[in-house]
Amino acid sequence: MSSSTSLAATITARLKPNQTVGIGTGTTVQQCLPQIAKRIQTESLAVSFVTSSHQTTLACQELGIPLLDPASIVRLDWAFDGADQFDDAARLIKGRGGAMLREKIIAATAEHFVVIVGEEKHSRQLGSACPVPIEVVPIAVHEVTNRVTQLGATECSQRLCPALGRESPYYTEHGNFVIDANFSKIHDDLERDLNAIPGVIENGIFTRWANELLIIRPSGVESLYPLREEQ
């Protein structure tokens, strides 16, 4: 059994009747969706889902996975998502796909937040070779860049994307810009300090959010349970 098959089986086996489950964004998460859809269809399993992005919503719709309006949900039984980097303290960097706002809302709403990561995404120094995405309202992008630099960023750049043969600003699903900021060291208060800057909507540091890490290794999937403190 491949690691991706083992991961999908691990996630799918956790589904129980009448649960409401949050689904994150990214290629690792999407590997699980076909097997989830198959179990729902073969067992007529009554499970509903809430997604963290349009990308995941479209993928679920194509597979016939039942979805709920995120605004109608008070609590999720559990949620699963990927991460771009994690360290020994289970601190995460997420949001390279630009969905960190809804991803953090999903994580906050879940009773149990499961984070799926390949072992190659582990770093002893969080932020090493992995910038922190920061969602910013467009009118504040220059002021936020200055403030982020004052907080210790070694490099800040506004995210761009190719469109019609030229580089255009990258927009999130909520119509905001993204600044990618590199830090030589990420301290535990940086997530809070970034969000305190006027004009910042959310950032991709998840300091104490994961209840469980599912680490994908060549030998299979390893489950770790870090401490998640109340936010």
pLDDT at res. 228: 53
Residue spans per domain, the chain: 3-122+207-224, 132-203
Give the catalytic positions in this structure.
Answer: 103
The pLDDT profile of the chain, 231 residues, written as one tens digit per residue, is 456 678 999 999 999 999 999 999 999 899 999 999 999 999 999 999 999 999 999 999 999 999 999 888 899 999 999 999 999 999 999 999 999 999 999 999 999 999 999 999 999 999 998 999 999 999 999 999 999 999 999 999 999 998 777 889 999 999 999 999 999 999 999 999 999 999 999 999 999 999 999 999 988 899 998 755 444
Predicted TM-score (pTM) of the model is 0.92
Query: Cα-flanking dihedrals φ and ψ of residue 6, to 5°?
Result: -65, -40
CATH number of the 132-203 domain: 3.30.70.260
pLDDT at res. 165: 76
**103 exposure class (CB count in 10 Å sphere: 0-12, 13-18, 19+):** buried
One-character DSSP codes across 167-203: EEE---TTS-EEEEEEES---TTHHHHHHTSTTEEEE
What class is the 3-122+207-224 domain? Answer: alpha beta
pLDDT at res. 185: 93
Over its C-alpha atoms, the chain yields an Rg (Å, rounded) of 18
pLDDT at res. 10: 93
Please choose, from the candidates 19, 212, 29, the residue with its C-alpha nearest in 3D space to the C-alpha of residue 114.
212
CA-to-CA distance for 49 and 70, rounded, in angstroms? 9
